[in-house]
Structure 1
C-alpha cells in the first residue's frame, strides 16, 4: 500500500455535518472539484456500491468499505489492476472541536501506473477539497 496524499482540518463544525455531506453524494461536485458526478446504488452504508465520473476520466465504480457514523468513512475506487482508497477519520475532542483527516492510498499490481496518473492531482487537491467540504458542511445547517 502506497500513501499518495494526506490532509487534515480541525474545525467547530460537528462530525455529523461531515457525514451528512458524504452521505449526500450528489453534492460531492460542490466541494470536490475533480468530480463531475457521483451516484450511490442504495443507502449510504458499509458495502454500498456506486459510480463516479472524474473530470477528464472514465466512469469508475466504488464501494463503501467502512462506515462508522461520526468516526470513519472509507471508500475504494475500483481501477483496472488497482484500488484507490480514501479513508476519512473524524475525532471530536472534549472541547467540541472536530478533526477530519483524509488519507488516500493505492494498492494492486498496477498501482504504480495509477499513482503516476492520479497521484499528483489528488495530492495537490486534497487539502483544498477538505476546506470546501468543511464550508459545505457548515452551510448545510446540521445541528450540533
Structure 2
C-alpha cells in the first residue's frame, strides 16, 4: 500500500487526472529511467513494447504496443531535460496527452516529487475518456509505484515476461 503522504492527486474525471510521488534520488536518476522508452514496459505495465525513432527530443516519434495488442503512435511534444516531457497520441477526433514532470526537489535529504498527468482532449476527448480513461486512471498509482521501485532498486516489475 502506498504511503498516503505520497498519494496521487487523482482528479475526479477520467478525462483529466494525475498522480504524484516522492522519491529519494537525484533528478538525473529518475530522468534516465523516464526517458529510456524501450524500458517503459518495465514499469508501465499496461505496455508490452515501446520504441522511439531517434533521440529523446521534442518532435521525436515513437510507437506503443499495449496488452490489447493495439499499436499507438506518439510524438514528443515537450522535452525539458532533467525536468519534464510530454507526448501526444492522436486518436480519431481527439488526443491523449501525457506529461511527466519533476515538481520539486530538496537536497536535505535528497528527494524529489514528480507527477504524471493524463488528459484526453479534442471534440471526442470525453468519448475517449469514457472508453480508456477509467482503466488508465485506476492503474496510474501502481505504474508510479513501479517506477519508484525501478529507480530505487534497479529491478523491473514483473510484466508477463515483457521487459
- TM-score, normalisation: structure 2: 0.79
1:21 equivalent to 2:33? Answer yes
After TM superposition, what 4+ stretches of structure 1 lie above 4 angstroms from structure 2? none
> How well do the aligned residues superpose, as a CA RMSD in angstroms?
1.7
1:109 equivalent to 2:105? Answer no
> Residue by residue, what CA displacement relative to the aligned partner does 1:43-74 show, whole Å, maximum 9, x if unpaired?
01111111111111521010111111221111
- d(CA) in 1 for partners of 2:26 and 2:92? 36
Q: CA deviation at 1:139?
A: 2.9
The one of 98, 116, 130 aligned to 1:86: 98
- d(CA) in 1 for partners of 2:29 and 2:107? 18
- d(CA) in 1 for partners of 2:28 and 2:87? 18
Assess if the C-alpha contact under 8 Å between 1:89 and 1:102 holds in 2: yes
Assess if the C-alpha contact under 8 Å between 2:20 and 2:114 holds in 1: yes
Unaligned runs of 5+ in 1: none
Assess if the C-alpha contact under 8 Å between 2:57 and 2:79 holds in 1: yes
1:40 equivalent to 2:91? Answer no
The one of 54, 63, 78 aligned to 2:66: 54
Q: Structure 2 vs 1, CA of residues 79 and 137 (structure 1 numbering), >3 Å: closer, same or farther?
A: same
Assess if the C-alpha contact under 8 Å between 2:15 and 2:126 holds in 1: no
- d(CA) in 1 for partners of 2:145 and 2:36? 17
Give secondary structure in 1 for the equivalent of 2:148: helix
- d(CA) in 2 for partners of 1:86 and 1:24? 16
1:97 equivalent to 2:97? Answer no
- TM-score, normalisation: structure 1: 0.89
- d(CA) in 2 for partners of 1:33 and 1:45? 24
RCO comparison, higher one (Cα < 8 Å, 6+): 1
Give the number of aligned pairs.
140
